[in-house]
Structure formats: structure tokens, C-alpha cells
């Protein structure tokens, strides 16, 4: 078995982290030039947090929930309502005005973000009481329903003076720098990794593997399922708050079911039960959609206009790529394994081995 | 009077119109090895499931060390449908869930092995240590309870050494050979520090050599861990050799109880289950 010395691995890990930070610092110092890349990276980092929190629930505890968009909406609106500058509020709530108690409440970004997470966790805890008694698909349908209910409530005219109803929120103060987003995302993911590696994380995995056996081992199913659900909701709320700050203007349509499906796609693509897979996939997915943009522009080769190249064609290509990935990597890019330097080493050896076998006259075809 | 560990009193389990266990009463005393035998479909595993809280019985009571852990009487739809006996004898409802019962000290294995198949051998045992953990989620996440965690790991390693799986600790448990999976399942049950161990067909699918090993293993468990053992088994050689007492079930009803020699010579047991030995034996 190929493996490296622990020392080599540490050095490589530190080098990788340093490279990422250096890149971020470079991007940050040339904001104007790289604003497009910065936006993509920020969105990826935010999606990575939701994806890991969904993976904690679906990949590690075996609870298939589709409520992400709803919980993100709670986080996003909490952050939005509490951080919009007081002087900008008349402009935002220009139709109905803002509710009196909220009119002068203005919290710093980090406090609003944590509060957004807590709100989502609280709602998650309440919804969890009835919903977590369901299993598999039924749980997914019920959470999906609750997610839509949350969205409908936010857009309800009765809450106009709090959420601004269907007009949405705008003028949310932006991030100070890309490092802020990456710092918060890294911290959230680190905390979730620590949860998963703790004894409670092992109990979650036991529930995923076999509920009956887990219960016979003294694990209280409902308690541990709620724990996992609430933790997941908390970080989903946080990422919703980050998304609100990233987008700077949100409305209830931002948090439609499609958002949940995007996250689900990331989680499945990265591999159920792999944190690094989720992170990797969220960057690939978000960036991939942008890289494919040239399919949307009419292409002319030597005076001949290629017929299919038009607005929306990139989504067709994107779907084809997704299908190919799902067909060839049935368990997602990482399966249920985590990123490791040994894994990278093995991957390159495998490719090298395959290339050697394909070279004619080198044994490969001789067996046929 | 002997020291009573597990006591099933008039337990009836009815699924719809089918009475799976009918008025079963039995007791298991401290330090004993007791076997529950009977033909397929007699209701042995159902009795186990009632004792461990997986099913609530339709009628009857289960107590462990004198404490009632499960008790029920026909209610709702069952009021009309109930086909068992002793209606009205029990009037209280106690329903401890399987995890609470495990915490009280009853551990079990399953007929169709239920390991955490994608996790390693070591993790399987370590998970069973989770229920005795004192640290909460926060302390555990921040690794402030590292002493406790270290102790859990040490105990799990020790247990794997005792059952002879120490060198397989980082194998994925689903990839182990059958006999070792059974052994691991017993190790996992032991990790919950039980006083009563329920084994559901521990020798199923084992060859004669493995069955012999199992016999000495069960003795070793009882003596080293001061356990009381209650098991379901079909290997008659094993049952007759190892058991202090045997209960025989047929169609949900207890048809005989006693020492191995008493049961072996009981005409009803021979008719229902054991059959007649061939001539010349």
C-alpha cells in the first residue's frame, strides 16, 4: 500500500492551506479586477457550508431532508432584517413601513448571523418533533412541505411590516472581504467535522447504518436524530445569512425548492458521507456553471453559425456532464471517503497504471 | 428462592389475528445459561423482541431485576380482537424503549447479524460505549472530554483483545467472515456492560469447529463478565451441553421447561421439535 510519511503530509497540508490563503489575499487586493471570480468563490464557499450541513444530516445520520431552502430563508431574513442600516430602511420598506419594535434595531453582522442560525435551529427543533418520527422518503416530503410553508409565510402579506412580503429586502451591507466569507465558512465546516468525529458523530453513523441495532446499543434515536437535525439547521441558517449578505438583496423567491435541489446535487455529486467531497463539489458545481457560459453565446466558426449555441444551452451541457458523473462515479466523486494525500497518490498511480496498460505492446492487449 | 434476573409473566403478543406468543411465562436466574428452543415460527425471536422493548406485548409483564420494564394490556382495537388469556390481570402500561432497557443492563445480538456494516470493527464496539458517556455534545465536540474518550477507546481495545478480534480492529466489519461477525456482535453487546446477555441463534451458520469454539466462548463470557445468558438456539448439541435450563416453545405456547435431560425425554418436545433418533443410536 502506498503511503507517505506523516511529516510529508503535514507539510503538504500546510502548503495547501498557505496557497489558498495567498490566493485569497491576492484576489482581495485586486478586487476590481477579479470581482467575477471573487463572486463565484464566495458563492461556492457559502454553498459548501449548506452542503456539509446537509451531508451531516443525510450522509452521516441517514435522514433524508429537503428543507434546506426554508431554513436558509430563516437565516437570510434574520440577517437581512437586523443588519440593513436604519437610515436605509424607509427606502426598503417603502410600501408598508417597518414594524415599530424593529425600526431601530440594528445588530453587527456576526451577531445577526449567529441569531439567524439560532432562529433556524429553533424552527428546526420545533418542526423536528413531528417530522423526525417519519422515515426515508416521507421525511423528505414532510421537510420539503415545511420548507415551502416557511417561504410562503415570509411572503405572506400579514408579515409585510417585518419581512417586507413579496417586495423582498435590499441594501444589506456587503462582506468586508472575501477572507471574511472563507473564514466563517471554514469555521462552520471545522465545527461540523469535530461533531462528526466526536462520540455523538459515531452515534449518528450508527443510526445511519442500522436503527434497530443502534437503539439496541443504547442510543436514543429521537434524541440523536433531533440533535443532528438541529445542528444541521443551525449551519443551514448561517449559510442562509451568508447568502443574504452575498446577494445583498433577497426575496422569498430566492429560497424556492430549486435551491434545495442544487444543494442536494452538490451533496450527491460530492459523495454522501464525505465532507471533503461536499466542499469539492460545491466549488466544482458553482464554478462549472460559469465556465460553461460560452455555450450561451452564439458561436461562429469560419462564417458558419453553430446552431445550438444560444441562451440556456449551457444548462443542457451541464446536465449531460452531471449524468456522466453520476453514471461513472455512482457514489459521487469521493464516495464516503475523505480527502487524503495517500488517496491522491493512489489516484495518480492508478492513472499511470492504466496508461501503461493501454500502451500497445506492453501486455494490455495481449490478454485479450 | 433463586435470584431472579429476567421474568416474563403471561406475555402474549398478538399481531392482528395471529397470536405469535401465547401466555408465555419464564424466568432466568442470576448466573444461569438458559435456552429457548422450538421449531421455526414458534415465537422465540418475538419473545426476545418483547423482552428488549422492540415490541410492546399485547398483554403481560416483563421485569428485570424486580423492576417492571414492559407491561401492557389489550387496548383499542385489540380489546375486541384479543384471543389470549389473562385478560384484565394487568392494568398498567409501562413501555421502556430498547435504548433504556439496554442502559438498565440487557444487551442482545440479532438473528440476522446487524452490525454497522460500513464502519470498522473498532468503531462498532466504540459506538456501544457511547451510551455511558457523561460529556454532552458541546464538550464532546470541543474534545474537552478527551480523558473519557481515551478511556472509551482503551476499554474497547481491551474488549476486542478478549474476544480475539484485536488484529482486525481497522477492518470494515461487513467484510469479516461470518463467524467473526457473530463474535463481533457479541463483543459489541458486551461493550454496553450488561448483566444479562440475550443471544439470538449465536451458532447459526457456523461449522462444527466454530460451534465448539462458541461453547467455550459462552462459558468464558459468563465467568469473566459475571453474566446471565439467555439464548435462542437450534444446535441441539450446543444447547444440551451448555444450558442449565431449557424452555420449549411451540406455536407460541410453552410446552416444556426443565433441565436438558428432562426436556430431552419429554414426549411433547420430541413430537413437536426434537423428533425420534434413528435406530441403533
pLDDT (tens digit per residue) in B195-233: 999 999 988 888 888 888 888 889 988 888 889 999 998
Q: Do B118 and A218 touch (CB under 8 A)?
A: no
Residues in chain A within 8 Å Cβ distance of B116: 205-206, 209-210, 213-214
Q: In chain A, what percentage of residues exceed pLDDT 90?
A: 46
B102-159 residue pLDDT tens:
999 999 999 888 999 999 999 999 999 998 888 888 888 888 888 888 999 999 999 9
Tell me, what's the pLDDT at A102? Answer: 79
- In the predicted model, what is the mean pLDDT of residues B40-57? 90
Rounded distance between C-alpha atoms, residue B70 and residue A250, angstroms:
54
- In the predicted model, what is the mean pLDDT of residues A251-277? 90
A364: confidence class by pLDDT, cuts 50, 70, 90: very low
Under CATH, which number does the domain B1-105+194-281 receive? 3.40.50.300
Q: Taking all residues of chain A, what is their mean pLDDT, rounded to a whole number?
A: 87
Q: Which chain B residue has its CA at the smallest distance from A220's CA?
A: B99
CA distances to A130, A226, A310, B83, B251 from B19, in Å: 32, 36, 68, 7, 8
Rounded distance between C-alpha atoms, residue A176 and residue A178, angstroms:
7
Quick count: other Cβ atoms within 10 Å of Cβ A45? 26
Rounded distance between C-alpha atoms, residue A128 and residue A126, angstroms:
5
Domain definitions of chain B by residue range: 1-105+194-281, 114-192
Those residues of chain B whose CB sits closer than 8 Å to some CB in chain A are 52, 54, 97-100, 102-103, 107-108, 110, 114-119, 123, 126-133, 135, 137, 140-143, 149, 152, 188, 191-192
A156-206 residue pLDDT tens:
888 888 888 888 888 888 888 888 999 999 999 999 999 999 999 999 999
Distance from CA of A99 to the nearest CA of B (A): 36
Tell me, what's the pLDDT at A278? Answer: 93
- Per DSSP, the residues of A97-137 read ---GGGTT----HHHHHHHHHHHHHHHHHHHHHHHTTS-HH
Tell me, what's the pLDDT at B276? Answer: 65
The answer, yes or no, to whether residue A24 has pLDDT greater than 60, is yes
B99, B119, B137 member nearest A220 (Cβ): B99
Which of A50-54, A93-97, A347-351, B55-59: highest mean pLDDT?
A50-54
A195, A205, A218 member nearest B141 (Cβ): A195
Rounded distance between C-alpha atoms, residue B257 and residue A332, angstroms:
56
Q: Give the gyration radius of chain A's Cα atoms.
A: 23
Q: Do B188 and A191 touch (CB under 8 A)?
A: no
A110-123 residue pLDDT tens:
999 999 999 999 99
Mutate to test the interface with B, among A190, A199, A201, A211 (most CBs of B within 10 A): A199
Q: In chain A, what percentage of residues exceed pLDDT 70?
A: 96
Rounded distance between C-alpha atoms, residue A50 and residue A195, angstroms:
15
Tell me, what's the pLDDT at A363? Answer: 44
Domains of chain A: 35-357 (1.10.3470)
Tell me, what's the pLDDT at B102? Answer: 92
Length of chain A: 368
Helix-helix angle A221-247:A178-197, to 10 degrees: 170
Q: Which three cell numbers stand for residue A224?
A: 440523536
Q: Which three cell numbers stand for residue B196?
A: 444479562
Does residue A3 belong to the interface with chain B, where contact is any CB pair within 8 Å?
Answer: no
The answer, yes or no, to whether residue A367 has pLDDT greater than 50, is no
φ, ψ of residue A79 to 5 degrees: the values are -65, -45
Q: Do B114 and A212 touch (CB under 8 A)?
A: yes
The answer, yes or no, to whether residue A1 has pLDDT greater than 70, is no
| Of residues A272, A246, A234, A268, the one with CA closest to residue A53 | A234
- In the predicted model, what is the mean pLDDT of residues A233-254? 93
Rounded distance between C-alpha atoms, residue B11 and residue B47, angstroms:
8
Tell me, what's the pLDDT at B277? Answer: 57
Amino acid at each position: 500500500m502506498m503511503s507517505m510519511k506523516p511529516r510529508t503530509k503535514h507539510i503538504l497540508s500546510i502548503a495547501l492551506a498557505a496557497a489558498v490563503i495567498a490566493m485569497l489575499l491576492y484576489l482581495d487586493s485586486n478586487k476590481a479586477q477579479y470581482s467575477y471570480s471573487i463572486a463565484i468563490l464566495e458563492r461556492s464557499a457559502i454553498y459548501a457550508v449548506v452542503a456539509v450541513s446537509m451531508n451531516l444530516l443525510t450522509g452521516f445520520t441517514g435522514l433524508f431532508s429537503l428543507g434546506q431552502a426554508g431554513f436558509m430563508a430563516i437565516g437570510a431574513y434574520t440577517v437581512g432584517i437586523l443588519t440593513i442600516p436604519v437610515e436605509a430602511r424607509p427606502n426598503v420598506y417603502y410600501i408598508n413601513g417597518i414594524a415599530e419594535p424593529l425600526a431601530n434595531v440594528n445588530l453587527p453582522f456576526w451577531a445577526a448571523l449567529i441569531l439567524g442560525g439560532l432562529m433556524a435551529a429553533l424552527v428546526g427543533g420545533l418542526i423536528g418533533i413531528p417530522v423526525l418520527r417519519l422515515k426515508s422518503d416521507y421525511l423528505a416530503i414532510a421537510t420539503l412541505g415545511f420548507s415551502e410553508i416557511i417561504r410562503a409565510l415570509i411572503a405572506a402579506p400579514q408579515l409585510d411590516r417585518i419581512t417586507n412580503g413579496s417586495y423582498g429586502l435590499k441594501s444589506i451591507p456587503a462582506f468586508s472581504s472575501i477572507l471574511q466569507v472563507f473564514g466563517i465558512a471554514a469555521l462552520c465546516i471545522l465545527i461540523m467535522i469535530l461533531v462528526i468525529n466526536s462520540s455523538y458523530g459515531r452515534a449518528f453513523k450508527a443510526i445511519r447504518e442500522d436503527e434497530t441495532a443502534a437503539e439496541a446499543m443504547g442510543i436514543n434515536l429521537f434524541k440523536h436524530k433531533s440533535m443532528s437535525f438541529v445542528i444541521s439547521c443551525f449551519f443551514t441558517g448561517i449559510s442562509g445569512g451568508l447568502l443574504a449578505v452575498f446577494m445583498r438583496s433577497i426575496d422569498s423567491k430566492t429560497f424556492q425548492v430549486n435551491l434545495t435541489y442544487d444543494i442536494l446535487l452538490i451533496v450527491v455529486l460530492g459523495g454522501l458521507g464525505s465532507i471533503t467531497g461536499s466542499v469539492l463539489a460545491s466549488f466544482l458545481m458553482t464554478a462549472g456553471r460559469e465556465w460553461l457560459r460560452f455555450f450561451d453565446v452564439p458561436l461562429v466558426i469560419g462564417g458558419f453559425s453553430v446552431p445550438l449555441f444560444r441562451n440556456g444551452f449551457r444548462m443542457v451541457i451541464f446536465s449531460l456532464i452531471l449524468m456522466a458523473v453520476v453514471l461513472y462515479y455512482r457514489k459521487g466523486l469521493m464516495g464516503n471517503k475523505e480527502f487524503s494525500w495517500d488517496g491522491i497518490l493512489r489516484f495518480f498511480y492508478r492513472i499511470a497504471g492504466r496508461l501503461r496498460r493501454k500502451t500497445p505492446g506492453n501486455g494490455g492487449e495481449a490478454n485479450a | 428462592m433463586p435470584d431472579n434476573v429476567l421474568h416474563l409473566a403471561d406475555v402474549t403478543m398478538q399481531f392482528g389475528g395471529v397470536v405469535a406468543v401465547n401466555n408465555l411465562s419464564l424466568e432466568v436466574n442470576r448466573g444461569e445459561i438458559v435456552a429457548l428452543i422450538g421449531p421455526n415460527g414458534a415465537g422465540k425471536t418475538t419473545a426476545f423482541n418483547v423482552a428488549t422493548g422492540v415490541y410492546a406485548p399485547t398483554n403481560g409483564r416483563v421485569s428485570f431485576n424486580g423492576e417492571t420494564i414492559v407491561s401492557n394490556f389489550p387496548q383499542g382495537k385489540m380489546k375486541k380482537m384479543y384471543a389470549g388469556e389473562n385478560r384484565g390481570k394487568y392494568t398498567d402500561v409501562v413501555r421502556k424503549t430498547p435504548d433504556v432497557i439496554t442502559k438498565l443492563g440487557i444487551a442482545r445480538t440479532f438473528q440476522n447479524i446487524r452490525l454497522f456494516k460500513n464502519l470498522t470493527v473498532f468503531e462498532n464496539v466504540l459506538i456501544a460505549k457511547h451510551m455511558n458517556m457523561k460529556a454532552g455534545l458541546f464538550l464532546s465536540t470541543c474534545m474537552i472530554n478527551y480523558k473519557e474518550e481515551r478511556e472509551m477507546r482503551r476499554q474497547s481495545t481491551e474488549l476486542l483483545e478478549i474476544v480475539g478480534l484485536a488484529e482486525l480492529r481497522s477492518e470494515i466489519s461487513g467484510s469479516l467472515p461470518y463467524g467473526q461477525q457473530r463474535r463481533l456482535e457479541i463483543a459489541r453487546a458486551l461493550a454496553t456492560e450488561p448483566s444479562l446477555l440475550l443471544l439470538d441463534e449465536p451458532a447459526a451458520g457456523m461449522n462444527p469447529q466454530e460451534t465448539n469454539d462458541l461453547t467455550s466462548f459462552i462459558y468464558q463470557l459468563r465467568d469473566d463478565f459475571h453474566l446471565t445468558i439467555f439464548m435462542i438456539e437450534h444446535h441441539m448439541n450446543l444447547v444440551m451441553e451448555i444450558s442449565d435450563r431449557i424452555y420449549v416453545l411451540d406455536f407460541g405456547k410453552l410446552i416444556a421447561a426443565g433441565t436438558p435431560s428432562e426436556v430431552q425425554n419429554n414426549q411433547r418436545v420430541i413430537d413437536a421439535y426434537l423428533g425420534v433418533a434413528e435406530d441403533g443410536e
